[in-house]
A and B are shown apart, each in its own frame.
Chain A
Amino acid sequence: MIATARDPRVEYVMRLGDNALVLAQRLCAWIAHAPVMEEDVALANVSLDLFGQARLWLGYAGELEGAGRDEDHFAFHRAASGFRNVLLVERPNGDFAATTVRGYFFDLWSYLALGELARSRDERIAAIAGKTRKETAYHLRRSEDWLIRLGDGTPESHARTQHAVNDLWRYTGEPFLRDEIDAAMLDAGVGFDPATLLDPWNERVRSAFSAATLAIPSDPWMQRGGKSGLHTEQLSYLLAEMQALPRSMPEAAW
């Protein structure tokens, strides 16, 4: 299917791809820095899965757009304002607890969202979602296992994990906000209503937090902006590193 210039599907699919791409880039910064070797391998694996997901989504966004941009072009030749990921995934790695909590919040949302998208009327979206949901289940199980182990662990791991939760909670509202792109995709039978995922997400978080002896912050104020291209400055540093080579040497090839 080729989209018209104003087809909201381009934007919609870019959001999915950018979420995966930015988190993948964040996670690969852990390689050779994880607390134990198994975690180094696990973080690299999750990162690799997400790069693969980003490639599938952004490749499709490029086809829909029909302007000759491929997934590499999207990854390496857009400025921060061109990215459509939620702010949550661009938060810095922090310590292992912060990376775990960020991963858990995202993995849970992603698992639920891909379940909805697997029923999309757009066959390509449904195929990508059906495929990537299976590996996202692995990511979620791992991040939830760690959330519980760290939260219900030593005083040190508990304190760090609760600190990460308090710090990141304000970024957990954005994925559930519905804007005009979401509404158009819902109407077209391509997408889903993000607000409907909030209850199952909250329910799961509550039971995991209870097992992890963690408290859910009471401040209801939520940050937003990433879905429409308004990012925090941390994304720019991430992109500066990720894009340095292809931008300085556009002809470079393997």
Chain B
Amino acid sequence: MKEELILDVKDLVVHYELEEETVYAVNGIDLQLRRGETLGLVGETGAGKTTAALAILRLVPDPPGVVKSGTITVAGHDMMSVSAKELEEIRGKDVSMIFQYPMTSLNPVFTVGEQIAESVMIHEHTAKEAAMERAKEMLELVGIPGSRANEYPHQFSGGMKQRVIIAIALTCNPKLLIADEPTTALDVTIQAQVLELMAALRKQYGSSMIMITHDLGIVAESCDAVAVMYAGRIIEYGTLEDVFNRTRHPYTEGLFNSLPNIRDRARALKPIKGQMPDPSVLPEGCAFAPRCPYATERCTQMPPQEHRFGGTHRVLCSAYDDPAFHIERGRQNG
């Protein structure tokens, strides 16, 4: 039986068309998410993760951002063709987003209560008093005393601001929650708290979630599926098992190798050599080829081919044209 798809993105292409250059931020990605599922969207800074997420809410700043092609379906809504009014109804209700920078993502001149209540008033058409009551409940839910609803963002710490942002995002019980590096700007001690809170609330509400992060530890703890992005494309996509235990793509392998290993402290870290290509001048062939230890001449000339393994695992790498090909990590794991 096919479960209901909350999110279905097909061949999404987003460019930033600046006067002097075009930035190829997202270059044809496919994403599917079922009810209650969590997808980890992993990649370096500049890989196009945030742009992809913003495109799902149609929030890519335009100009200069342009969604060149693709279809985005969120909870049955065709996001590319809905009207501005419908879009306002979908945002915050069907899909909402938690942003990366809690320090700047709250409006400094409105109370946190007002900022949570606004969402309730928009989507549930309640009066202000009732909405403020809901706001207080939401604050309690994220571990902030409801009595602080009348305080302003500058009176809260970074971790608490992120909780407020989570409260705003969850207020109207969205079917899809997109969390863009929700803990990157927070202290490590607060990170764990916020992640636990999000996991608990998600379970309670049954929301699907996209967790954007560059922290593979967070992915391992909280995600069912993983998509690894590089230079605007998803280069490896599968279940957590697929990507973590049956890693296929040389870039994903590089990511794992560059993690410190607590059981082998003496070993030097193995960073991936080189830099991600400038997204305004992408190479003709595989974007990772210049940094890839397995790259052949063919990789730099031809766009990489997608290969499927099992029902769920997709890898964008031409090396698998040769059925005997194995990355090192793959060999170790058998």
**A, B assembled together:** no
- A interface vs B, CB < 8 Å? none
